[in-house]
Chain A
Amino acid sequence: MSGEIGLWAVPIAMLGGAIRVSTPFLFVSLGEVITERSGRINLGLEGTLVFGAMAGYALAFMTGSAWIGVLAAAVAGSVFGLVHGLLCSLPKVNDIAIGIALMLLGTGLAFFFGKPFIQPVAPDLPSINLGWWSDLPQVQAALRVNVLFLIGAALALALAWMLRRTRVGLTLRVVGDSSDAARALGIRPARVRILATAFGGALAGIGGAYLSLFYPGSWNEGISSGQGLIAVALVIFARWSPVNCFFAALLFGAAGALGPALQSVGVTSGYYLFYAAPFVLTLVVLIASSSKSGALTGAPRELSITK
């Protein structure tokens, strides 16, 4: 082992952190992009994420297959999405309030059903070693890439293409921008939004399964440190673009790795400050990218925050 790499440890750790920590951000924010593009906000994805983490871990433990766990998390997530979508389709129901209610319900149910699964060890998702070319163990560890990360990256491209080039994408955008126009085209906005929210829930569930089945790779009640909420904010940050979501997720993953990495190279004081890096970063980027005229460019016009 060629141990000492000095200050190079920081960029390598941030690269590794970006790859390891970003996947839940990526899946939750991609799902939320689709939901918000249809004109709804689902704030409950934090709850869906935690429930997905629990359901995925439980099923993976019981069946011995991590992929069945991922599937179960997706199904559970889509059920949460469906509930949100259906409730919000009732007249005069506020999607933000329902989202908060579902967030608490999701975490509560996950804690309740998750009790027996804190102790057992479930199988992990496989990872691909893209660091074989390097003989540095640090680089090899950083480039141990999980399959879900690659799927997420591909999904970001696919969703961007879908939104721009396909009929489904067009339908979503019409519904998101104007219910009236959608109705005139013979589209039923409520149905599209329910499906979009269910899809968003399924992706959030998969994001949760990544947490419990790969990194950190175990189910406990503190598994999500608010990734579900941050990811919803990432969508605004990414201006409702799936490809931007991918980069935003990477950035947040890397920023999260900064604190431990700096301590490991000897920058030991002020770690609370470094742990705030992702949030400072959000503020900086939002301020830098803001403008007086086009503050909400790209925002679907049916969203309750832009209406």
Chain B
Amino acid sequence: MAEFLTRRRFLSTTAGMAGAAALGGLAMPARASGSLTVGFIYVGPRDDYGYNQAHAEAAAVVKAMEGVTVIEEENVAETQDVQQTMESMINFDGATLLFPTSFGYFDPHILKVAPANPDVRFEHCGGLWSEGMPTNTGSYFGYIGMGQYLNGIAAGHATKTKKIGFVAAKPIPQVLLNINSFLLGARSVDPTITCQVIFTGEWSMAVKEAEATNALADAGADVITCHVDGPKVVMETAASRDCFICGYHANQSELAPEKYLTGAEWNWATVYTDMVKKTMAGEPIDNFVRGGLAEGFIKMSPLGPAVSDAARKQFEDTNAKIMAGGYAVISGPMKDNAGNVIAKEGEAFEETDVALESMNYLVEGVIGSTS
């Protein structure tokens, strides 16, 4: 509603129009050597108990680094708006390293702005960088599906109705991988468990998320997790319906400590400090950066009081296997919920497998559809 009233937007249009001619030649402000301006762009508020907060907490760590200036803008829509925000961060603030963090920023927005600004580095969260894309862009992401798999193990031990629930925003690969992992984690405990998914169609839509959570509880789900930008509403609503909850993005245990089993959290500080250090030292950054529990890109919330000893044991054993590397959640023989074969006997997709990042199916046992 108010995104066209942001300070930066106002400055970039008014000051931009007035001073475009005058600034023409010296658009890039002079920078002292050894200093770096880093821009962070968020699709929602910085303190949403979720996706944006996870990034903003890491941005705060970057801010504390010597010689680094951090500029941030929140509530930037995945539209033309983000292009203007990037342009103004580059032209007016002199940012040379940008972290536009939302999934929808990459294609077409970053891909459009990057070629015109070859001296600026664009690092995008979650996008699938591939050969042929501008070399000053890159993508990073964490194998958070493994976190949802561990959530699923805790859920599988906690569920009595043998039905667990997932409130999902949009059917994109990362969300589908999380849903599938959550169910497969639960099925590693009891193969009769099913997972009901409800898509809200929006990254952040409080009333719809609450309705979806209620619908899951009505359908008999008794452990609920989610993949929306701000999980607070889902967590509170699910706990009020007497369901157990598994967190996502950040630690939500204090919202309902008795009901909180565990949660899959981001740990972006690892990634951001590393990239900033490399940029300042003039070293190249890989265009394609990935990491999981072992690399410290993601972490699990401490297990809650409702987690049984058996659950804790299986959780910790599996965690150790994942840390050792090579663990595959999607392994054959496996079918999707429409009956198509997705993995043949003996076929396995490890967490590092890029094929997982174009996932377009829900595995057998998930009640829901991708369209």
Give bound CA distance, A142 to B163, whole Å: 20
A138-B218 CB under 8 A given contacts A259-B208, A263-B198: yes
Query: 8 Å CB contacts to A: which residues of B202-257?
Result: 204-212, 214-220, 230, 232-233, 236-237, 240-241, 254-255
Total number of residue pairs linking A and B with CB closer than 8 Å: 139
Residues of B within 8 A of A4 (CB): 220
Contact code string A224-265 (vs B, CB < 8 Å = 1, else 0): 010100000000000000000000000000001101110111
Task: From the candidates B1, B200, B232, name the one contacting A218 in the complex (CB within 8 A).
Answer: B232
Give bound CA distance, A263 to B237, whole Å: 18
Is A119 part of the binding interface, using a Cβ–Cβ cutoff of 8 Å?
Answer: yes
Give bound CA distance, A270 to B205, whole Å: 18
Is A271 part of the binding interface, using a Cβ–Cβ cutoff of 8 Å?
Answer: yes
Residues of A within 8 A of B218 (CB): 5, 9, 12-13, 16, 137-138, 141-142, 261, 264
Is A108 part of the binding interface, using a Cβ–Cβ cutoff of 8 Å?
Answer: yes
Residues of A within 8 A of B75 (CB): 111, 221
Is B44 part of the binding interface, using a Cβ–Cβ cutoff of 8 Å?
Answer: yes
A141 touches B214 (CB 8 A): yes
Residues of B within 8 A of A265 (CB): 219
B44, B196, B214, B255: most-surrounded residue (chain A CB, <10 A): B214
Is A303 part of the binding interface, using a Cβ–Cβ cutoff of 8 Å?
Answer: no
Is B2 part of the binding interface, using a Cβ–Cβ cutoff of 8 Å?
Answer: yes
Give bound CA distance, A223 to B204, whole Å: 9
Q: Which chain A residue shows the least CB distance to B234? A: A216
Give bound CA distance, A118 to B236, whole Å: 13
Task: From the candidates B44, B201, B240, name the one contacting A221 in the complex (CB within 8 A).
Answer: B44
Residues of B within 8 A of A118 (CB): 45, 47-49
Q: Which chain A residue shows the least CB distance to B4? A: A104
Give bound CA distance, A257 to B207, whole Å: 10
Q: Which chain B residue shows the least CB distance to A268? A: B369
Give bound CA distance, A17 to B218, whole Å: 12
Residues of A within 8 A of B236 (CB): 121, 216-218
Give bound CA distance, A246 to B215, whole Å: 24
Is A186 part of the binding interface, using a Cβ–Cβ cutoff of 8 Å?
Answer: no
Residues of B within 8 A of A272 (CB): 201
A264 touches B255 (CB 8 A): no
Q: Which chain B residue shows the least CB distance to A263? A: B198
Is A67 part of the binding interface, using a Cβ–Cβ cutoff of 8 Å?
Answer: no
Give bound CA distance, A60 to B208, whole Å: 24
Give bound CA distance, A87 to B219, whole Å: 51
A269 touches B214 (CB 8 A): no
Give bound CA distance, A56 to B48, whole Å: 18
Query: 8 Å CB contacts to B: which residues of A1-38?
Result: 1, 3-5, 9, 12-13, 16-17, 20-21
Give bound CA distance, A225 to B209, whole Å: 11
B217 touches A21 (CB 8 A): no
Residues of B within 8 A of A220 (CB): 45, 48, 204, 206, 230, 232-233
B214 touches A260 (CB 8 A): yes
B168 to chain A, nearest CB (A): 10
Residues of A within 8 A of B60 (CB): none
Residues of A within 8 A of B200 (CB): 260
A260-B233 CB under 8 A given contacts A104-B5, A221-B75: no
Q: Which chain A residue shows the least CB distance to B232? A: A218
B172 to chain A, nearest CB (A): 14
Query: 8 Å CB contacts to A: which residues of B284-313?
Result: none
A1, A17, A142, A222: most-surrounded residue (chain B CB, <10 A): A222
Give bound CA distance, A214 to B358, whole Å: 39
Task: From the candidates B47, B204, B237, B254, name the one contacting A115 in the complex (CB within 8 A).
Answer: B47
Q: What are 8 A-B contacts with C-beta separation under 8 Å?
A: A9-B215, A20-B211, A103-B1, A108-B2, A115-B45, A218-B206, A225-B208, A275-B201
Interface residues of A (CB under 8 A from B): 1, 3-5, 9, 12-13, 16-17, 20-21, 46, 103-104, 107-108, 111, 115, 118-119, 121, 137-138, 141-142, 211, 215-218, 220-223, 225, 227, 256-257, 259-261, 263-266, 268-272, 275
